[in-house]
C-alpha cells in the first residue's frame, strides 16, 4: 500500500475495521501544525544565542537555571496559546471507531487531551507538570506564562514547596531516561496492537522510534503519515505523505463511510 495523493487505500480501511487494538504514535510534526515550534526551528531574541538542544539538558539547568526556566516558560506559553488541529480531533474521534486505542506522543503539550483523547502516554514528559529538581515532588504551574517570547526572558525557577530546591520543567532532557510508566505502557501497546499509526515523527529519535519497529516485529500493520520521507518509509505497510491535519480526518471519514 503506497499512496501519495491523500486517497485512503481500501486495504487500510479494511485493516482498521479488523483491528482490535490500535496505537497512534505522534511526534513534533503534529504539534507544529498547531503552530508550536519544533527543535529544528530557528530560535529568536535571547534564545537565538543558544542551540535548542543545548538548553534541554540537566547541565544547562544547573549552569543557567534562569535561562532554561525562562525558555520553557516561553514554550509553555506557546502551547497554551495553541489550539488542537484537525489531526488531534481526528485521533480523538478514531477512538470511537475502534475497540481499543492508545495514544503515545513525543510531544510535551496537552493538545491531544484538549482535543478529547484520554490516557495519553507522554514519552517526553509535559510542559504542564513541573517537578522539584532535587526531591522530584510534583509542583503546580504558575497561572500565567510569559506573553511574548520574542525578546526572551530570564526567569528564576520557583522553589519547591516541599524542600525549597529549584523547580525544573517536567520534560525529558537529553541524556535522561524516558518516564518508566509511560515507556512501559507504550511498549506494551506497540507489541500487542494490530495496527500502529506513526504520525508527524522523523523516526530518528530513539528510544521512542523503537515503537514502530516493535509493532512490525509483532506482525502489526504500520501506517506512516508524514509530509517527508523518513527511514520508516521502506518498512511501513502504508505511507500517506501529507499533513496530519489533512490526512487523519480523511482516514476517519473513510472508516465512517465504509460502514454507512
What domains are there in the chain, each with its CATH number? 1-35+84-125+177-260 (3.40.50.1220), 37-81+131-168 (3.30.1600.10)
| Pick from 7-21, 67-81, 216-230, 237-251: least confident | 67-81
- Tell me how many degrees the CA angle 99-100-106 measures, rounded to the nearest 5: 150
Catalytic site includes residue 17 = no
The per-residue pLDDT for range 88-136, each reduced to its tens digit, is: 999 999 999 999 999 999 999 999 999 999 999 999 999 999 999 999 9
Question: What pLDDT is stored for residue 46 in this prediction?
Answer: 57
| Pick from 148-152, 154-158, 195-199: least confident | 148-152
Largest Cα span, the chain: 60
To the question of whether residue 238 is assigned a binding role by annotation, the answer is: no
Question: What pLDDT is stored for residue 141 in this prediction?
Answer: 84
Q: Could you tell me what percentage of the chain is helix, strand and coil, using 3-state DSSP and rounding each to the nearest 5?
A: 35, 15, 50
122 neighbors 105 (Cβ within 8 angstroms): yes
Instruction: Exactly one of 88, 112, 122, 124 is catalytic; name it.
Output: 124
Helices 244-259 and 86-94, packing angle to 10 deg: 30
**160: helix, strand or coil:** coil
**155: helix, strand or coil:** coil
- The pLDDT of residue 150 is above 60: no
To the question of whether residue 160 is assigned a binding role by annotation, the answer is: yes
Distance between CA atoms of residues 74 and 33, nearest Å: 18
To the question of whether residue 202 is assigned a binding role by annotation, the answer is: yes
Question: What pLDDT is stored for residue 160 in this prediction?
Answer: 97
- Taking the model in full, what pTM does it have? 0.91
Mean of all residue pLDDT scores within the chain: 90
Q: What is the torsional sign of CA 183, 189, 192, 194?
A: negative
Place of cell 515550534: 37
To the question of whether residue 201 is assigned a binding role by annotation, the answer is: yes
- Mean pLDDT for the stretch of residues 55-82: 92
Place of cell 535522561: 176
CA dist list (Å): 114 to 23, 85, 90, 109, 181: 19, 10, 12, 10, 22
To the question of whether residue 141 is assigned a binding role by annotation, the answer is: yes
To the question of whether residue 206 is assigned a binding role by annotation, the answer is: no
Q: What is the torsional sign of CA 106, 109, 111, 117?
A: positive
Distance between CA atoms of residues 90 and 94, nearest Å: 6
160 neighbors 166 (Cβ within 8 angstroms): yes
Question: What pLDDT is stored for residue 4 in this prediction?
Answer: 38
DSSP H stretches of helix in 82-157: 86-94, 111-115
The per-residue pLDDT for range 11-67, each reduced to its tens digit, is: 999 999 999 999 999 999 999 999 997 776 666 665 567 777 788 999 999 999 999
The distance from CA 151 to its chain's CA centroid, rounded to whole angstroms, is: 27
The grid cell for 175 is 541524556
- Tell me how many degrees the CA angle 24-25-29 measures, rounded to the nearest 5: 115
Percent with pLDDT over 70 in the chain: 88
To the question of whether residue 75 is assigned a binding role by annotation, the answer is: yes
Q: What is the torsional sign of CA 14, 15, 20, 22?
A: negative
Question: What pLDDT is stored for residue 153 in this prediction?
Answer: 78
To the question of whether residue 106 is assigned a binding role by annotation, the answer is: yes
60 cis-preceded (ω within 30 degrees of 0): no
- The pLDDT of residue 260 is above 60: no
Amino acid at each position: 500500500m503506497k499512496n501519495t495523493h491523500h486517497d485512503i487505500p481500501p486495504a487500510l480501511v479494511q485493516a482498521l475495521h479488523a483491528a482490535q487494538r490500535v496505537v497512534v504514535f505522534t511526534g513534533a510534526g503534529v504539534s507544529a501544525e498547531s503552530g508550536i515550534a519544533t527543535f529544528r526551528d530557528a530560535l529568536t531574541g535571547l534564545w537565538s544565542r543558544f542551540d535548542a538542544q543545548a538548553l534541554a539538558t540537566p547541565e544547562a539547568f544547573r549552569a543557567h537555571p534562569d535561562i532554561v526556566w525562562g525558555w520553557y516558560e516561553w514554550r509553555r506559553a506557546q502551547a497554551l496559546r495553541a489550539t488542537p488541529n484537525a489531526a488531534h480531533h481526528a485521533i480523538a474521534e478514531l477512538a470511537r471507531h475502534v475497540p481499543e486505542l492508545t495514544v503515545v506522543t513525543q510531544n510535551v503539550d496537552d493538545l491531544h487531551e484538549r482535543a478529547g483523547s484520554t490516557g495519553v502516554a507522554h514519552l517526553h514528559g509535559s510542559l504542564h507538570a513541573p517537578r522539584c529538581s532535587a526531591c522530584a515532588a510534583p509542583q503546580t504551574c504558575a497561572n500565567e506564562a510569559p506573553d511574548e517570547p520574542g525578546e526572551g526572558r530570564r526567569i528564576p525557577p520557583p522553589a519547591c514547596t516541599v524542600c525549597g530546591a529549584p523547580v525544573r520543567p517536567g520534560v525529558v532532557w537529553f541524556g535522561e531516561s524516558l518516564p518508566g510508566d509511560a515507556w512501559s505502557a507504550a511498549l506494551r501497546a506497540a507489541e500487542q496492537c494490530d495496527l500502529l499509526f506513526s504520525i508527524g515523527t522523523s523516526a530518528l529519535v530513539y528510544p521512542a522510534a523503537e515503537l514502530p519497529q516493535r509493532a512490525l516485529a509483532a506482525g502489526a500493520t504500520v501506517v506512516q503519515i508524514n509530509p517527508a520521507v523518513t527511514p520508516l518509509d521502506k518498512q511501513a505497510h502504508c505511507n500517506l505523505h501529507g499533513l496530519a491535519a489533512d490526512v487523519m480526518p480523511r482516514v476517519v471519514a473513510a472508516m465512517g463511510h465504509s460502514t454507512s
